[in-house]
A and B are shown apart, each in its own frame.
Chain A
Amino acid sequence: MSGVVGNPELAIFFGSQTGNAEELAGNTAKMAKKVGFVPKVIDMDGFNPSNFANFKRILIITSTWGEGDMPDNAEDLWIATNESNPGLSGVSFSVCAIGDTSYDEFCKAGIDWDEKFVSLGATRAHPIQLCDVDYEPEWSKWADAVIPVMAAIDGGASSAESEESSESSEEVATTTTATISADAGDLGEIMSGDRSLAIFFGSQTGNAAGLAEKTAKMAVNYGLEPTVIDMDGYDPAAFSSHKRILVITSTWGEGEMPDNADALWNATVASNPPMSKVHFSVCAIGDTSYDEFCKAGLDWDEKFKALGATCIEEIKLCDVDFEPPWLEWAPLALSKIACVDSSGTFHEDLLEAMIAYGAGDEEEADVGDFAPGQIVQADLSITMRIFRYNPILAQSGYDTVAVALPGHASIEDALVAVKREVDGSLTFRSGSIAGQDPLTGIKANGRILPADTTRICDVVSDGDTLTIEPVPGYDVVKDLMVSYDRYDSVRAESKPWMEADPRQGERLISGAAMGTMTSAEATHLHTLADVGSLQLVNAMSDTYDVDEEYSGPGIALQRWVRSQDPRSGDGHVKQMFELMQRKGGVWDEADISSIQRHGIDGSQAADSLYAARARLLAEYKFTGRSGRLVKHYSRSVKMSGNVNETTLYRSVLGPLGLGSNIMNGVSLRMMLGFTRNGGPIMRGFQGMLVPPAGIGKIPNMFNGKVANHHEVVAIFNELDSRF
Chain B
Amino acid sequence: MVKYSYYPGNVARQSSYEVEDTIQPLCKTLGIDLIEIVGYNSDGGNIIKQGNKNLQLTLNARNIALAEKNGHDIITACASAQGILHEALETFRNDPIALANANTVLSKTSGITANANEITTNHLLHVLVDEIGLEKVEAAVINPLKMDVACYYGPHMQRAGACGGDDPWNPNYMEKLITALGGRPVEYKSKTSSVGNPSLLSLGDSVMKMTARVLNDAKRAGAQIIVSACTQSHSNLDSYQGKAGRVANKDTNIPAVNLTEIIAFALGHFPDRFAQLKTRALLIGS
Contacts and interface: CB of A to CB of B under 8 A. Distances in A.
Contacts of A183: none
Contacts of A720: 51-52, 55
A446 B189 CA distance: 9
Interface stretch (A234-242, A495-503, A542-550, A560-568): A542-550
Given A593-B46, A679-B17, A625 B201 contact: yes
Contact of A446 (B170, B240, B255): B170
A498 B168 CA distance: 41
A701 to B, nearest CB: 6
B41 A591 contact: no
B242 A642 contact: no
Contacts, number: 216
Contacts of B280: 675
B51 A631 contact: yes
B110 A708 contact: yes
Interface in A690-715: 701-702, 706-709, 711-712, 714-715
A590 B42 contact: no
Contacts of A547: 205-206, 209
Given A630-B51, A652-B201, A677 B276 contact: yes
Interface string B8-26: 0011011101100100000
Contacts of A665: 242-243
Interface in B218-236: none
Residue among A589, A637, A661, A687 having the largest count of chain B Cβ atoms under 10 Å: A637
Interface stretch (A52-60, A162-170, A218-226, A643-651): A643-651
A642 B52 contact: no
A666 B170 contact: no
A629 interface: yes
Interface stretch (B68-76, B138-146, B154-162): B154-162
Interface in A547-586: 547, 550
A417 to B, nearest CB: 23
Given A597-B159, A597-B168, A711 B110 contact: yes
Range for the number of chain B residues in contact with chain A? 35 or more
A633 B14 CA distance: 14
Given A718-B109, A719-B105, A629 B47 contact: yes
Contacts of A648: 201
Interface stretch (B117-125, B128-136, B173-181, B192-200): B192-200
B181 to A, nearest CB: 16
Contact of A617 (B11, B51, B54, B193): B51
Given A642-B14, A669-B239, A677-B276, A550 B59 contact: no
Interface string B34-64: 0000111110111111111111001100100
A546 B39 contact: no
Interface string B182-198: 00000000001111111
Given A546-B206, A676-B238, A711-B109, A590 B199 contact: yes
Contacts of B11: 643, 645
A642 B194 CA distance: 23
Contacts of B242: 664-666, 669
Contacts of B54: 719
Contact of B155 (A546, A597, A712): A597
A718 B156 CA distance: 28
Contacts of B38: 707-708
- Binding site of A, secondary structure by majority: helix, strand, loop or mixed? helix
Nearest to A459: B169
B210 interface: yes
Between B197, B202, B238, the greatest number of chain A beta carbons within 10 A of the residue's beta carbon is seen for: B202
A589 to B, nearest CB: 8
Nearest to B196: A590
Contacts of A125: none
A613 B50 contact: yes
Given A676-B18, A677-B277, A715-B62, A590 B207 contact: yes
A597 B158 contact: yes
A645 B53 CA distance: 22
A447 interface: yes
B220 to A, nearest CB: 15
Nearest to B213: A546
B28 interface: no
A714 B272 contact: no
B256 to A, nearest CB: 6
B55 A715 contact: yes
B206 A719 contact: no
A79 interface: no
Interface residues of A, number: 75
A568 to B, nearest CB: 23
Contact of B41 (A587, A634, A637): A637
Nearest to B201: A652
Interface string B234-259: 00001111110010000000011100
A178 interface: no
A678 B272 CA distance: 8
A633 B48 contact: yes
Contacts of A445: 169-170
Contacts of A590: 194, 196, 198-199, 203, 206-207, 210
Given A629-B202, A701-B13, A718-B105, A679 B51 contact: no
B15 A684 contact: yes
Interface in A308-323: none
B261 to A, nearest CB: 6
B155 A675 contact: no
A260 interface: no
Contact of B209 (A546, A624, A628): A546
A588 B206 contact: yes
B3 to A, nearest CB: 20
Interface string A606-637: 00001101100100001011101111011001
A613 B40 CA distance: 27
B194 A591 contact: yes
Interface of B: 10-11, 13-15, 17-18, 21, 38-42, 44-55, 58-59, 62, 80, 83, 105-106, 108-110, 155-156, 158-159, 168-170, 192-199, 201-203, 205-207, 209-210, 213, 238-243, 246, 255-257, 261, 270, 272-274, 276-277, 280
Given A591-B196, A675-B255, A708-B38, 6 more contacts: A590-B198, A633-B47, A645-B11, A666-B240, A677-B277, A711-B39
8 contacts: A590-B203, A591-B195, A593-B198, A597-B159, A642-B42, A707-B39, A708-B110, A716-B55
- What are the 10 closest A-B residue pairs judged by CB atoms, nearest first? A590-B196, A714-B109, A707-B39, A591-B194, A678-B273, A546-B209, A547-B206, A677-B273, A594-B194, A664-B243
